[in-house]
Structure 1
Amino acid sequence: MKSILLHVDHDAAFNARLQVALDMARATGAHITCLQAINYEIFAPGDFYGSAIAAAMPVIKESAEQLRAQIEARLAGEDVAWDWRFLYGMSINRLLEHSPLADVVIVGPADIGFDGHGPSSLVGDLVLRSPVPVLVVPGDAKGFDVTAPVMVAWNGSAEAAHALRAAVPLLAAAGKVWLVSIAEASDKKPRFDFPALEGAQYLSRHGIACEVVEVPRGEAKIGDTLFSAAQMRGCGLMVMGAYGHSRLAEMLLGGVTRQMLSEPQMPILLAH
């Protein structure tokens, strides 16, 4: 990972993802592009003449400039290469515009202004539309050790294969790689388009050894089972494919991606 695109905003998880970006950049010699987007397209019911927006603009801009000055002062004392993109418009649009020449996009787990539980629409849009993987960093993350064990959540889907391929640079640096799938008691036919063995063979061609594990489903939700499996193995990162079903189906019926993004318990690298 030589080019890191970092989403900058006032959300509660920003300091955590900044630290993760710094740790990753130091370990891999990467360059961090800090992208800060300011959106003035605020919908104010009844504000036909835009007076509320006009009044809010100076405050929004001043707050953004203060955040930029604060972060730039910190970055000036760090031993990493970085640059700053100060842009106008919606964050999702600006991140998508700059993602094609990034190796990874680092974002928080919640939409700005909604730091409670619930999956982020920004993350969902990025994962589905960005050509590069998205690293979601929870607000309680203390940093990122590239040599820590990594768990790949494997369900044999094309999405899982995409995530595995995108994670190769990080997997190569990890001290241990686990390829973990969940055994469903109700399985009566092969579930995998790509069996775990094929995933392991792919990694071996990149000089990466991994251990293939099947974990019993049990009574817990699949997301909780995966997090528990990762924590038991001391993993610092989870890699997984996202939105194997349509995003609408995930919203209406729930799904592993939705559950894990609602309450992430460690950094998660996602690809679709």
Structure 2
Amino acid sequence: MSFKTILSVVGMRQSAADIEIATTLCTELGAHLRLLVVSLEATSPVADYALATSSIWVEERQRNIEKLAAEADSLKESLKRYGISYEVESLWLDSAYADTDIGDYARYSDLVVVGPSLSGDDEELKWHTVNGALFEAMRPVLIVPDKRVPSLKPKTILLAWNSTLEASRGAREGLDIMAGAEVHITLVDPDATCGRNGEEPGADIALYLARHDINATVDRLPSAGRDISDVLNQHAIDISADLIVMGGYGHSRLRERIFGGVTRTMIKTPKLPVLMAR
């Protein structure tokens, strides 16, 4: 799909790279930027023992809200020089409801960008942003690691494929991006079964993409005992991919959190820009 509105979520300690990434993407696509500046705070005290500290908490909250508003005003001024359509909003969030609140904003955007600053001091905000976009708004996220310059008009794309609903959603969201790019449909340890991958794993999705005038190569790779995320990242580097497109959370969030998984690894430590959908 085309991306006409891009939501970039940043914390109070956002880096210049976050702003540069968001504005570059909007300039590239002629898209409108929604910049959401977030202050994430712990849940307010509610028990009886907290009454003595509640006034302190309220005062601290008010100070943070004022700092947040000042930061948003500063960013509004700095964005004027980019010559794009934009709006800047500030949001004080209770961490208990952050997924839902960010999801409310994401519903009115086509893409949610997670910049490198959220992989550092604001990692908690990173997870709330990803979960809010994927689960509360069903919107794709673009996760950008540090020192990477993303493009939504990439030359080479790795499409991670395993014939699941989530992978199909990722491919669908990436159709416009894949048009004109060199696409590598990548399967790790695929099973040739009639019910899932078919007798020739990857052939069905390659035919689907061909009907959208997207020429793709099918790469079937053995894991050789390595994590699937490691195989995907290394293959992306080997083919000089600019972007990885994939589905997210084929397993439940709880299972991913306890046992780990491809989605969690690609979100936590991406090697390249990752477009993820669910």
TM-score surpassing 0.5? yes
Aligned pairs (5 A) from 1:205-244: 205-244=211-250
Q: 1:40 to 1:264 in 2, by over 3 A?
A: closer
> Alpha-carbon deviations, 1:48-96, whole Å to 9, x = none?
1512212212431233133223322321100221112234445433321
Out of 103, 107, 112, the position equivalent to 1:105 is 112
Q: Is 1:93 aligned with 2:100?
A: yes
Task: Give the equivalent residue in structure 2 for 1:63.
Answer: 67
Stretches of structure 1 that go unaligned for 5 or more consecutive residues are none
Instruction: Please state whether the residue corresponding to 1:35 is helix, strand or coil.
Output: strand
Greater Cα shift, 88-97 or 238-247 = 88-97
> Per-residue deviation at 1:134?
1.4
Offset at residue 143 of structure 1 (A):
4.3
Inter-partner Cα distance in structure 2 for 1:72 and 1:56: 24
Residue 72 (structure 1) aligns with:
76
Report which stretch shifted further, 206-215 or 55-64.
55-64
Number of positions where the alignment pairs a residue of Structure 1 with one of Structure 2: 267
Counterpart mapping for 1:256-267 below 5 A: 256-267=262-273
- Find out whether 1:47 has 2:50 as its counterpart: yes
In the TM superposition, what are the counterparts of 1:149-160 in structure 2 within 5 Å?
Answer: 149-160=156-167
Deviation of 1:189 after TM superposition, in Å, equals 4.9
User: How far did residue 11 of structure 1 move?
Assistant: 4.5
Could you say which structure has the greater relative contact order, defined with CA pairs below 8 angstroms and 6 or more residues apart?
1
Equivalent-residue separation in structure 2 for 1:28 and 1:193 (angstroms):
34
Aligned to 1:183: 189
Could you tell me the percent identity over the aligned residues? Answer: 26
Which residue of the partner structure matches residue 10 of structure 1?
12
Superposed displacement of residue 115, structure 1: 3.9
- 1:154-193 Cα deviation digits (max 9, x unpaired): 1111100001101112222x53221111126xx5856835
Which ranges in structure 2 are unaligned for 5 or more consecutive residues?
none
Cα gap change, 1:16/1:92 in structure 2, threshold over 3 Å: closer, same or farther? Answer: farther
Structure-1-length-normalised TM-score: 0.85
Which of 82, 89, 92 matches 2:86? Answer: 82
Distance 2:38 2:134 in 1: 19
Aligned 8 A contact 1:239 1:269 in 2? yes
Match of 1:123 among 122, 130, 133: 130
Structure 1 residue 201 corresponds to structure 2 residue 204: no
**Which whole-Å deviations, capped at 9, do the CAs of 1:19-43 have from their partners, x for residues lacking one?**
2222221111111111234456644
2:169 is matched with which residue: 162, 166, 176? 162
Which amino acid in 2 is paired with 1:154? W
Q: Is the 8 A contact 1:5 1:32 kept in 2?
A: yes
Displacement of 1:108? 4.2
C-alpha separation in 2, matches of 1:171 and 1:143: 14
Q: Secondary structure at the match of 2:82?
A: coil
2-structure distance, mates of 1:188, 1:268:
27
Q: TM-score, normalized by length of structure 2?
A: 0.83
Query: Which structure has more helix as a fraction of its residues?
Result: 2
| 2:26 matches 1:25 | yes
Flag the 1:11–1:171 CA change in 2: closer, same or farther, 3 A.
Answer: farther
Change in Cα spacing, 1:148 to 1:74, as seen in structure 2 (3 Å) is: farther
The alpha-carbon distance between structure 1 residues 180 and 11, as it changes in their structure 2 partners (threshold 3 A), is farther
Separation (CA, whole Å) in 2 of partners of 1:66 and 1:17: 18
Change (3 A) 1:159 1:129: same
Report the AA paired with residue 37 of structure 2.
Q
Q: What are the Cα deviations for residues 220-269 of structure 1, in whole angstroms up to 9, with x where unaligned?
A: 21111101111111112111111111111212222111122221112211
CA distance in 1, matches of 2:13, 2:276: 20
State the one-letter code of the partner of 2:86: W
Letter of the structure 2 residue corresponding to residue 102 of structure 1: S
- What does 1:133-148 align with in structure 2 at a 5 Å threshold? 133-144=140-151, 146-148=153-155
